[in-house]
Each structure stands twice: as structure tokens, then as C-alpha cells.
Structure 1
């Protein structure tokens, strides 16, 4: 009966007109063409290491020059700003998993257009802690990583890294405490440790704000011998 009900919902969904996730207008995809052109097709100069916007022709921002993070490069599709932030909140907390392939597509388009793209050999989604994964029911980073791996033709290892201790959500931690909150929070899963030494690993996540989460994970990968770590993130929070 449950299978029949799901089948009926799928058929009904295919018959009803889809709505744009941003403007609620009718469209064939997740986001209509006008909204995509206005909000999602972003091209701007960014720091090669952390993807913060740059106002000049420099390759690295002052922050990365003063205190280089453990990761070597960052690619992002869009800024984390209204109204795009609502899409990522819907994906992260509202279980709108259909948005994940959209952000994977945007990320893939961003790196393909870049002449300096150095493709990782293996993708690693930022892992959730067990309690948070059970409460949410899915890992939004993994939902983005799956279609991204297919589009870029890069191997994906969902369990490459594990979160060894539960941490407070970074959004609820004071900026000065965020690095400490994530210190030693990640490790490479022992059963996959042989896949890391000498390789270029790509970390996939939904949003990058302070960068402390991906820094901590990149540091764990470097401790296991990763040659290079590149961050692939759907959206980057602009500095305030």
C-alpha cells in the first residue's frame, strides 16, 4: 500500500506544474530562468584559497596571507546572501533534497569555467555527528557531493572522514570560539586511511562561513598524508 501511495504521489507531482523555489512562479526546474540569472549566475573575483570576494587583482586575501588555512583552495558557486540563503536553509533544515543537485550543477559549472581548476582525486563530504545525523535524517553535504561527483567524474567516498565528537553548531558559537569548538573534531576513518596519502582530496559542504569547519577537516586529512585539499562549497558567506 505504501509503495502504491508513493507511486501515486510521483505521478501526481509529474502532472502538477512545478514552482520556482525562489519566486513561486511556474517553471520546469527547481528555480526559474529569471531567478537563476538574477541570483545564481554569479561571477566575481575571489581569493583562491578561501573564496572570499576580492576587490582587486590579488590572488589571495589578507587573511589567508597572514594565517594560511589547512586547505589549499576553495571553489564556491554563490554568495550566502538573500534570497539564495533561503534555498540552503530549505535544503539543510527543510529536507528539500531536490535543491542539492541544483547546487551541485552550479558548482560544477563554476569550476569548469575556471582555467585554473585542478580536479581532486577523491571527494569527501563534511560528516555530521551521529546525533545530528539521526535527528536530521540526512547529510546535506553528502546530498550535494553525490551529484557533484557524477558531474565532475570524481570518485566519492562518503565515509572517508568521521566526526569523532559532537560539536555545537557553529552558528551558535561566538566567532572567537569557533576554531576551538572544532579542534580535533574530525579524523579519517581507519578503514579508508589508505586512500588519503599522496592524494588530492576535495571537501564538499553546503555553506562556508568562518572556514573553521573545513579547516579542521583539512587538517585531519593533511595529518593522514593528503597532498592537497580543495574545498567545494555551494555558498560562501561574505565577510562582514
Structure 2
């Protein structure tokens, strides 16, 4: 359909020429549509939980939730906290089809991951987008996680497997639900149609934002049950807890 970014070639011209910064409108003086000053001011994720990337004071610790109720994914890699202006950029990409904002953040995530690989991080066998509920995707016209996954697979030369996980039923929005309600809401919501393809594989789930991690943990559990070696999560941003910076005892 024409709302997909693949048909909007003009939005990619900013990658090829010197551009104005998407945040302050000043000349960026480089191909990236982001000036150096605004890039430095972005809410880069600093010290964080070793497993779920929740912002915490001690970068060598687990948060309380991962200590007492660990998720099934082994690690989250995200460059940003989900606060201004990154939250605004993601929402405009996700809900208003502003592809340049998504492409910019995807490009920054790609640079972040290249550094992670250079420092010894392992490249996955497959990356796969978190599936969106069918009715929600039909209403929106696209799955922003799949768009991110496609961009990352091309930039980082990773193998994308869009059919590796399927959504089997509609679920209500996770927003506003308790942890127990979130888990129940996602019960039997996903399916691995070809489990032999994931046996002993390192798989990465791609999403735009990680909030509680329930969806990614549910999918990770399913992948591990079907023989995956381990599962990581790549996302643009990590939402901090309202009661910020709780450490495990």
C-alpha cells in the first residue's frame, strides 16, 4: 500500500546530501539530518540493568524485577531513554508516518550496534520484528517494528526472518494493564510455524520501545521452548520506571 515508506523515495534524499537538523533546523554540516550538538544532547542510555536495560545507577547490577522475576530474553540493547525528544520522534514515526524520524533513529541504532559488535557483541543468526496484532496493523497500515527490522537488516547485513513468529490472535493493548494482566493477555498469542529453523540459533527481536518487556519475554519464552539458543532484544529506546532508579538488594 502507498503508505509504506518503500514508496516514498523522497524521504530518503536526506541521507544523500547535507541536511538541516530534524531537531533544531540548523545545517547539520553532514549527511545525517542531525547536527552534532543535538546528537550530543539526545537522552543516551547510560548505566542500566544488565538484562533489561532499565536505567539504574549501577551499570554492573540487575534491577529488582530482573533479580526476582527475570525475563526470558538474555539482553536488551537500546541507545536511548524513552524521554524527550526521542519519545516525540518515535511517536511521530509510529503514529504519523514521519519516516525520516524513524530512519534517523534507526541509523543511530545501527551505529550503536556496530560499536557493540566491535566491542565483542555477537551478531545474531536472525532478526525478527515483534508482530503487531492484525487489526491494529490494518488500522495503522504498517508495523513500525517490521520497518525498523528491515532497515537494520540492510544496514547491518543481518538476516531478517519476517515469518519466524506469527501472531495467532487479537489482544487488547498492553497499556494500563498490570504485570499479571499483561501475561494473561498475551497467552497463546504467538506461534512459531517452523520450529526447526530456530534450533540452536541466536535470535534478536526488534521493536521500537521496550516498556515492561512482557511481550518480548513472552515471545522469547516461546522461541526458547522451540530450541533457540538464546534471544536478545534490539529497540530504539527503553522506558524508565516512574519510581526511577531502583536497584536489587
TM-score range, shorter chain: 0.7 to 0.9
- Deviating beyond 6 angstroms after TM superposition, the runs of 4 or more aligned structure 1 residues are none
Q: 1:173 to 1:24 in 2, by over 3 A?
A: farther
Q: CA RMSD in A?
A: 2.7
Name the CA distance, whole Å, in 1 between partners of 2:203 and 2:170.
23
The 10-residue stretch of structure 1 (217-226 or 197-206) with the greater mean CA deviation from structure 2: 217-226
- How many residues of Structure 1 are paired with residues of Structure 2 in the alignment? 229
Cross-structure match for 1:204 = 206
Gaps of 5+ in 2: 243-249
TM-score for the superposition, normalised by structure 2: 0.82
Determine whether 1:222 maps to 2:224.
Answer: yes
**Conserved 8 A contact 1:129-1:166:** yes
- Residues 119-173 of structure 1 deviation map (CA, whole Å, 9 limit, x = unaligned): 2110010011211111111110011111211222210011211111111122243
**Conserved 8 A contact 2:171-2:189:** yes
Q: 1:239 to 1:150 in 2, by over 3 A?
A: same
Cross-structure match for 1:144 = 148
Q: CA deviation at 1:19?
A: 5.2
Cross-structure match for 1:34 = 37
Match of 2:167 among 136, 139, 163: 163
Name the CA distance, whole Å, in 2 between partners of 1:18 and 1:58.
39
Name the CA distance, whole Å, in 2 between partners of 1:48 and 1:99.
28
Gaps of 5+ in 1: none
Match of 1:125 among 123, 129, 139: 129
Cross-structure match for 2:246 = none
TM-score for the superposition, normalised by structure 1: 0.84
The 10-residue stretch of structure 1 (114-123 or 64-73) with the greater mean CA deviation from structure 2: 114-123
Cross-structure match for 1:88 = 90
Name the CA distance, whole Å, in 2 between partners of 1:55 and 1:148.
30
Cross-structure match for 1:97 = 99
